[in-house]
Amino acid sequence: MSDTIYLDHAATTPMHPEVIEVMSEAMKHYFGNASSIHQLGRESRGIIEEARRTFAESINANPQEIIITSGGTESDNMAIIKSAEKYKGKHIITTEIEHPAVLKPLDYLSKQGYDITYLTINNDGQITLEQIKNALREDTFLVSIMYGNNEIGSMMPIQKIGHYLKEEHPDVLFHTDAVQAYGTEEIDVRESKIDLLSVSSHKINGPKGVGFLYKSNQISLAPLILGGEQENKLRAGTENLPAIIGFKKAVEVRRTNKKETKESYLYFKKLFISKLQENNIDFDINGTIEDSLSHILSVHLNGIPSDKLLIHLDLENIAVSSGSACSAGTVGHSHVLTSLYDENHPAVEETIRISFGLGIKEEDIIKSVDKIKKASIFLKGK
């Protein structure tokens, strides 16, 4: 396993050594229930509130605006379903290429009588502010647009949308799924006028099973889980202290190295593309590389079935994907690629997603492209 070249960091990331260290110590020493009034409980409570401050600072929010959750999926569900329960209006605007953690709650709401407008994307995999303006109605109460796409990396005009909504439609809530963007992009919820924002730990070298939802103090949500009074009575349940501690450390490490991390990913992306060109591999970029997440590269390898290529690469200990890990094993094509092209476009079955992260070296990129070249020759020759 240690010999595997892991190029699927958009699916999940290995935990940073410092994260593993602090979590191990937490499991040994911090077991008090944060709701208890004795010393051990107060100690745990203090640790959680310190982590909450760290999360808040990372997006320029107030600590009381951070709801600690089990991850991105829960955060998205809470933002969408619980805002629907709290606010008037029956219309929601989103895009066709959202993560299933957004699309499935919206599908649930549509069955409850809500009307959902799904915006189409352009050739760069993006939407425009004009589309938002044209889709808004008197009964619109929520706009949910992802910060950056998890399959093709395209980024959306979040700040433009946020400013427009606050200036022209202040009663409409603005949610963004920032799970893929949080680790590399500078996110400022105040500057971007965001009401709700979802984040997950395991995308930034933290543990799985923890994340947070930013909820502006200016809005209200119905509780997600009923029981105790944790998370300001919005999410009951005893907190997972080791995971929260690990998440906090992951945020601290990433914030310290964010600029260098992003620059390294951009370098690897350019290197990967240049090596494909040097090896005369017939390819196209899905979406755009100009305004996209630095760690994600979606490539259409013309004439090479992605399912067969993935098997070849896996046998060579190279881990890549053909799209969202959350949709793996399901029947059907990528909804992102079918939105970008159409159901019958070759790219739908000939695309791989490369995503960079901790531990990647230049020689890994060179070796991976070499293996893709050899696999493509074999597959095209069959």
pLDDT in tens, 202-221: 999 999 999 999 999 999 99
Q: What is the mean pLDDT of residues 97-122?
A: 98
Task: Please tell me the predicted confidence (pLDDT) of residue 324.
Answer: 55
pLDDT of residue 46: 96
233 and 125 together in one domain: yes
Give yes or no for residue 181 having a pLDDT over 60.
yes
- Between 167-181, 225-239, 264-278, the lowest mean confidence (pLDDT) is in 225-239
Res. 381 pLDDT band, cuts 50 70 90: confident
Which of 219, 252, 285 terminates a domain? The answer is 252
Q: Are residues 196 and 225 in the same domain?
A: yes
Do 162 and 245 fall into the same domain? yes
CA-to-CA separations, 131 to 16, 189, 220, 311, 336, in angstroms, rounded: 40, 22, 27, 40, 18
Q: Contact, 358 vs 202, CB < 8 A?
A: no
Contact 269, 284 (CB under 8 A): no
Domain limits at 106?
17-252
Mean pLDDT of the 84-93 span: 96
**In the listed set 233, 252, 271, which residue is the last one of a domain according to the structure?**
252
Catalytic residue among 266, 326, 358, 366: 326
Pair (185, 293) in one structural domain: no
pLDDT for the residue 326: 55
Assign residue 29 the CATH number of its domain.
3.40.640.10
The 3 state secondary structure assigned to the chain is: CCCCEECECCCCCCCCHHHHHHHHHHHHHCCCCCCCCCHHHHHHHHHHHHHHHHHHHHCCCCHHHEEEECCHHHHHHHHHHHHHHHCCCCEEEEECCCCHHHHHHHHHHHCCCCEEEEECCCCCCCCCHHHHHHHCCCCEEEEECCCECCCCCEECCHHHHHHHHHHHCCCCEEEEECCCCCCCCCCCHHHHCCCEEEEEHHHCCCCCCCEEEEECCCCCCCCCECCCCHHHHCECCCCCHHHHHHHHHHHHHHHHHHHHHHHHHHHHHHHHHHHHHHCCCCEEECCCCCCECCCEEEEEECCCCHHHHHHHHHHCCEECECCCHHHCCCCCCCHHHHHHCCCCCHHHHCEEEEECCCCCCHHHHHHHHHHHHHHHHHHHHC
Q: Under a CB-based contact definition with an 8 Å cutoff, are residues 89 and 143 in contact?
A: no
Last residue of a domain, one of 206, 237, 252: 252
Task: Judge if 278 and 248 occupy the same domain.
Answer: no
Tell me: do 192 and 292 sit in the same domain.
Answer: no
For the segment 238-249, the average pLDDT, to the nearest whole number, is: 98
Mean pLDDT on 68-88:
97
Give me the pLDDT at residue 1, please. 47
Q: How far apart are CA 295 and CA 353, in angstroms?
A: 10
My answer on whether 264 and 242 are in the same domain is no
Measure the CA–CA gap between 64 and 67, rounded to whole angstroms.
8
Instruction: Assess whether pLDDT exceeds 60 at residue 148.
Output: yes
For 341-361, how does the pLDDT look when each residue is reduced to its tens digit (9 = 90+)?
A: 999 999 999 999 999 999 999
Task: State how many domains the chain has.
Answer: 2
pLDDT at 331 exceeding the cut of 90: no
Task: Label residue 333 by pLDDT band (50, 70, 90).
Answer: confident
As a whole number of angstroms, the distance between CA 81 and CA 107 comes to 10
- 274: domain CATH number is 3.90.1150.10
Residues 231 and 268 grouped into a single domain: no
Output the pLDDT for position 2.
67
In the chain, the amino acid numbered 169 is H
Cα dihedral 132, 137, 138, 139 sign? negative
* pLDDT on residue 131: 99
- pLDDT at residue 330, rounded to an integer: 53
Residues 278, 230 share a domain: no
Query: Over 80: is that where the pLDDT of 155 sits?
Result: yes
77 is catalytic: no
Give just the sign of the alpha carbon dihedral 305, 308, 310, 315.
negative
Average pLDDT along the chain = 95
pLDDT-based confidence at residue 380 (cuts at 50, 70, 90): confident
CA-nearest of 250, 243, 252 to 23 is: 243
Domain co-membership, 219 together with 296: no
Is 199 in the same domain as 313?
no
Of the candidates 1, 77, 3, 6, the one whose C-alpha atom is nearest the C-alpha of residue 268 is 6
Average pLDDT of the segment spanning 107-119: 98
Same domain, yes or no: 218 and 280? no
Closest CA to 177 of 163, 159, 158: 158
